[in-house]
A = this chain, B = another copy of it.
Amino acid sequence: MQKIDVAILGATGMVGQRFIQLLQEHPWFRIAALTGSERTAGRSYGESCRWLLDGEMPASLRDMAVLGSEAELNVPLVFSALPSSAAGPIELRLAAAGHVVCSNASNYRMEPDVPLLIPEVNPEHLGLIEVQRKRRGWRGAIVTNPNCTSTPITMAFRPLLDAFGLRKALVVSMQALSGAGYPGVASYDAMDNVVPYIGGEEPKVESEPQKMLGTLADEGIVPASFATSAHCNRVPVLEGHLECVSVELERKASLDEVIAALRGFQALPQELRLPSAPPQPIIVRDEPDRPQTRRDRDEGRGMATVVGRVRPCSLFDYKFVALAHNTIRGAAGGSILNAELMLAQGIL
């Protein structure tokens, strides 16, 4: 199979670098273009980017030119790691020009005709693309992946909702520093500290899961009807968002049934053997003290959701802990899996 050329928008930032890292040896996609800010455009990637991830910048990209955000991109597929302050008009223009844009930005996530996609959770929402193309009159598409904090809980909610229904969820997150981008959180704010606030995060966590777990109807998505309350915190860890969750189900379920539903979760990306799909979408650990952020965030090459401490809750029905890698599954890796699904489904 010939690889598909892709562009990465915002390639010099934290998430842009993750896209590059994950696409280095990708069997289906090939990095053909990189864009940066006004400041970096026109220089090589090696000159304009300080590599933040472990190890060295991939040698093959050192000499690739960084394009401006207005550049014509001669690729069918575009991954956007743009900040939401910049993403809006750029992504629109590219979709209108016929590109498929897999965006990590929050701008269009809640638009009625834009899929907010986790391939294991709501692959059928790709049906919105037809609606989107008709309504917007373009041949391209915008497909988004959710906020990094919405991701692990939505993954865990899918089998619970299917098996038992879901009425309420209270979520308290302990989020990694990398989620704030780079330079992001100042070290003087981060060390030996918890900051119990992340701007704009809680509303996302309280609304994105409902859209993803909603049903695709003629006129768009009918959101799932459960209610969520979120408390979002920044804790001094590098990568990995860990969340404490209490859920109330629609129907009675035993602890064993709940654990079995989570552990037995099967989904389309695994069936299709998409390259970035983890072998198991949800890993349930039985030890009392797992998942732990550092020890479990890399499961499934950072693409698995690790769940543990499933136990009764005296106020709701059950409580548990869920963890996912925020800049892999919760950002770049999630976007890439979306593109893989689209290619496998013939949409790309």
Contact = CB atoms under 8 A, between A and B. Distances in A.
A238 B229 CA distance: 29
A157 to B, nearest CB: 15
13 contacts: A54-B295, A54-B296, A172-B244, A185-B188, A189-B292, A194-B237, A194-B242, A194-B292, A196-B242, A196-B321, A197-B289, A229-B246, A229-B314
A159 B293 CA distance: 36
A99 interface: no
Given A14-B188, A170-B246, A182-B186, A316 B193 contact: no
A218 to B, nearest CB: 29
B194 A235 contact: yes
Interface of A: 14, 52-55, 168, 170, 172, 174, 177-178, 182-197, 199, 206, 227-229, 231, 233, 235-238, 242, 244, 246, 288-296, 298-299, 308-309, 313-316, 319, 321
A127 to B, nearest CB: 29
A309 B198 CA distance: 12
A313 B233 contact: no
A229 B315 CA distance: 6
Contact of A244 (B233, B290, B298, B319): B233
Contact of A186 (B55, B187, B193, B290): B187
